[in-house]
């Protein structure tokens, strides 16, 4: 154990300056196999290290400690240790061992799932992402882990805060697939179906040489969310989708997602009510119930009230005679809030434009040539009816 004790001493002495930390990094790389060989005996040495000062060394020891199988009883202790490390560690040091940091964070998630306490890890995993990221536009391997914890904990609002950030850098394709899939699920949980559809569309149309399980599950939900949002969906994928997706996705999607299917049924009633607003200025609740095929006037009233509350239609209900009056959208697009939203969209487009100008010109020219092969109709084909 003298070598491990000596390594602890070196960690304590070489964690102050940037040059010392780089020297320590080389020493830790050389000692990595030894640390894993002694993994079952390393835990007491963590008490001699301060995660806020000795982040790199602490990370090497912690990664080795958690590398083997961990029981539910051990998980309770390790969760506290990793939580303390994630709260205190220094970004500049943990980025020098990015693969180990990712491994520790993933094991942290696994241990929380094993304990059935995903909510404990939501805020800490977000902290880990912020420390690991160099820029907010960078999609890391920790993003899917964070979103999965949010899903399991039903902490949709926290997960959605990350989904609002624009992504321009991706390390691994699988990270993007899982980020968009879990993100779509979170948006479904919040009933933000337009954003959910965009994220699921990214999975389904992403480049792939062979169809993967993530794309299959995303396509199932893509169909159902399309029905919820539009009452219909396209039977064919856009031509910019991979050939593997176009050939195989529909044949692999044979089952349904019960929770989403129930929402589809409810959304079809809403779609039919929305169509009535395009034809009538006033209509009785009885007529709405019979036209939309609802079982009672009360049920029709509840649907209309819910749609008014969700700003899906603009209407008033006269309780005396049961008449519904449909109104025009009151938005005049001149409020401060609307101007701020438009300005925000313009700023995002300007940033995207700058990113494109920095892209390899040969790649852009190739993309333009490929796009000329398609008509605009290929990108916005007329959706076909789908019977549930």
pLDDT tens per residue across span 242-284: 888 877 776 666 555 656 666 766 777 888 888 888 888 899 9
What pLDDT was estimated at residue 339? 83
What pLDDT was estimated at residue 373? 41
For strands 323-326 and 282-284, give the pairing.
antiparallel
Per-residue b/e over 121-136, b at no fewer than 16 CB within 10 Å?
Answer: bbbbbbebbebbbeee
Average per-residue pLDDT in the chain?
A: 85
Partner residues linked to 283 by β-bridges: 324
111 in Cβ contact with 79 (< 8 Å): yes
Q: How far apart are CA 23 and CA 159, in angstroms?
A: 38
Provide CATH code, domain 265-326: 1.10.10.10
**pLDDT beyond 80 at 358:** no
20 token code pair: 């010392």
Provide the pLDDT confidence category of residue 370 given band limits of 50, 70 and 90: very low
95 in Cβ contact with 132 (< 8 Å): yes
98 token code pair: 């990015």
pLDDT in tens, 302-355: 988 988 988 888 999 998 888 999 888 877 777 788 788 888 888 888 887 877
164 token code pair: 């609002």
Tell me the average pLDDT across 24-32: 95
- CATH architecture type of domain 1-132: Alpha Horseshoe (1.25)
24 in Cβ contact with 57 (< 8 Å): yes
Q: Can you give the residue ranges of every domain in the chain?
A: 1-132, 135-255, 265-326
Is the alpha carbon torsion for 335, 339, 342, 348 positive or negative? negative
What pLDDT was estimated at residue 378? 35
Percentage above 70 pLDDT, the chain: 87
Provide the pLDDT confidence category of residue 180 given band limits of 50, 70 and 90: very high
Provide the pLDDT confidence category of residue 212 given band limits of 50, 70 and 90: confident
87 in Cβ contact with 47 (< 8 Å): no
Tell me the average pLDDT across 177-182: 95
- The lowest-confidence range among 46-60, 92-106, 330-344 is 330-344
**Helix intervals (H) in the chain:** 2-13, 18-37, 55-65, 72-88, 91-94, 98-115, 119-132, 142-153, 156-163, 173-189, 193-205, 213-230, 243-252, 258-277, 285-292, 297-309, 336-357, 361-371
Tell me the average pLDDT across 20-43: 93
Helix (H, G, I), strand (E, B) or coil at 165: coil
**pLDDT beyond 80 at 187:** yes
90 in Cβ contact with 52 (< 8 Å): yes
Residue 172's CB: how many other CB atoms inside 10 A? Answer: 12
């Amino acid at each position: 154990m003298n070598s491990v004790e000596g390594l602890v001493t070196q960690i304590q002495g070489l964690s102050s300056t940037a040059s010392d930390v780089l020297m320590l990094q080389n020493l830790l790389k050389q000692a990595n196999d030894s640390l894993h060989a002694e993994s079952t005996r390393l835990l007491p040495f963590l008490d001699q290290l301060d995660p806020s000062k000795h982040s790199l060394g602490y990370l090497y020891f912690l990664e080795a400690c958690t590398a083997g199988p961990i029981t539910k009883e051990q998980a309770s202790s390790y969760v506290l240790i990793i939580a303390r490390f994630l709260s205190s560690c220094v970004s500049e040091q943990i980025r020098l061992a990015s693969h180990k940091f990712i491994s520790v964070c993933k094991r942290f998630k696994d241990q929380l799932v094993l304990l059935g306490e995903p909510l404990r890890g939501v805020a800490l995993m977000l902290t880990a992402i912020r420390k690991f990221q160099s820029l907010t536009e960078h999609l890391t391997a920790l993003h899917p882990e964070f979103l999965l914890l949010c899903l399991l904990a039903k902490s949709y609002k926290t997960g959605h805060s990350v989904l609002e950030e624009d992504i321009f850098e991706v390390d691994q394709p699988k990270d993007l697939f899982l980020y968009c899939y879990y993100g779509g699920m979170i948006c479904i949980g919040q009933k933000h179906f337009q954003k959910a559809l965009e994220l699921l569309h990214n999975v389904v149309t992403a480049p792939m040489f062979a169809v993967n399980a993530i794309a299959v599950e995303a396509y199932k939900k893509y169909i159902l969310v399309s029905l919820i949002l539009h009452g219909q969906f396209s039977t064919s994928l856009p031509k910019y989708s991979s050939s593997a997706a176009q050939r195989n996705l529909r044949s692999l999607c044979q089952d349904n997602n019960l929770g989403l299917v129930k929402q589809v049924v409810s959304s079809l009633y809403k779609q039919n009510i929305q169509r009535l607003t395009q034809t009538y200025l006033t209509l009785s609740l009885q007529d709405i119930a019979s036209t939309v095929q609802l079982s009672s006037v009360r049920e029709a009233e509840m649907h209309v009230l819910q749609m008014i509350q969700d700003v899906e239609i603009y209407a008033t209900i006269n309780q005396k005679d049961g008449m519904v009056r449909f109104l025009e959208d009151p938005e005049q697009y001149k409020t401060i809030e609307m101007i701020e939203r438009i300005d925000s969209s313009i700023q995002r487009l300007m940033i995207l434009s700058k990113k494109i100008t920095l892209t390899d010109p040969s790649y852009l020219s190739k993309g333009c040539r490929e796009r000329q092969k398609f008509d605009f109709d290929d990108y916005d084909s007329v959706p076909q009816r789908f019977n549930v």
